[in-house]
Structure 1
């Protein structure tokens, strides 16, 4: 399991009191990134995915060949995004990647899904932000409006059903539904390369 990252922001800042959890540099990069995506990418149609890949890579994302992030998706910080070949982040997905989010080869994140790698330490009087990486395995599918929380590891080929809420480790090649997501069956399909 990946260790959580406790984020304190600038010296003496306390999120509970309105203080920032991230450095000034981080906040400026995110501001420039947000404006760049809004002006140059958010309106672009699907065929302009090479342009969106260029913008994401310019801000530090690691994207495999054919990876696509749709224009209406939101990526919090491109340098915390790794996508394998053919992986897709669909329309209106919120990729809230305060810690690294890795989406492996040919994984699909469907419309309206929320990938959230940050939370708060509810036992800390200062309510500090804690960020924990997320990994989504090859050929996995995160269905419409599902939520994948901090530290989740979605196994290769796993399916997280529509509006499901996933935390922890989800086994490969299984189907999960509900809140919290529970395994309901195996997934029968496998890519031919795995036969």
Structure 2
């Protein structure tokens, strides 16, 4: 399974101004997302941990590229599976918000803990139309995004990096370094993993 990012972004609506109440995304994409949301609610949201294979199959059906050992908790909220890539033993914990307007990649053994927020979308505050801007997020091998942390658009958490609980990252996290705070600042080096 290749984890190389293709920088996919959800299709935007043409010729409309969302700031004035128009839709941000194309009608076809909005319908597909509705179908996705209803499918997750009906077939996955209520499932116990033993139903991991069903959740992975449903995500794959909607376009996710997900390794057979990846873990997605039933309470995770994934905006669009087609922009999700998960490697071997990668994990999205309980209550994770995965707002993947652009692609989110979790490499092998990457962990996103409970109620963390991965957000690929923002807005151009200097443009009067306030358009959506989306940039991918990449969580490297053995990286850990701890409980209730926030990762903003365009951030790469390099291999083995850690963003501590409730930390806020708007810049890349360097490999094998522990970060904490808002904004996230480096605290110390992390011992290298054998995996």
Instruction: Tell me whether the two structures share a fold, i.e. TM-score over 0.5.
Output: yes
| Contact 2:156–2:171 (Cα < 8 Å) also in 1 | yes
| CA 138–5 in structure 1, closer or farther in 2 if over 3 Å, else same | closer
**TM norm structure 1:** 0.93
Aligned to 1:119: 122
Local SS of the residue matching 2:126? coil
Q: Of the candidates 55, 58, 82, which is equivalent to residue 85 of structure 2?
A: 82
| Contact 2:66–2:87 (Cα < 8 Å) also in 1 | yes
Structure 2: 5+ residue runs without aligned partners?
none
1:101-180 equivalences under 5 Å are: 101-180=104-183
Deviation, 1:24, is 0.5
Local SS of the residue matching 2:45? coil
Q: Of the candidates 62, 66, 74, which is equivalent to residue 65 of structure 2?
A: 62
Query: Residue deviations 1:52-83, cap 9 Å, x none?
Result: 00000000000113001100001000000000
| Contact 1:30–1:77 (Cα < 8 Å) also in 2 | yes
| Contact 2:140–2:158 (Cα < 8 Å) also in 1 | yes
- Asked if residue 17 in structure 1 is aligned to residue 16 in structure 2, the reply is no
CA distance in 1, matches of 2:66, 2:10: 26
CA distance in 2, matches of 1:104, 1:79: 16
**TM norm structure 2:** 0.93
* Misfit runs of 4+, over 4 Å: 4-8
- Aligned pair count reads 190
Structure 1: 5+ residue runs without aligned partners?
none
CA distance in 2, matches of 1:83, 1:6: 17
Query: Residue deviations 1:72-118, cap 9 Å, x none?
Result: 00100000000000000000000000000000000110000000000
Deviation, 1:8, is 8.1
| Contact 1:131–1:150 (Cα < 8 Å) also in 2 | yes
| Contact 1:152–1:166 (Cα < 8 Å) also in 2 | yes
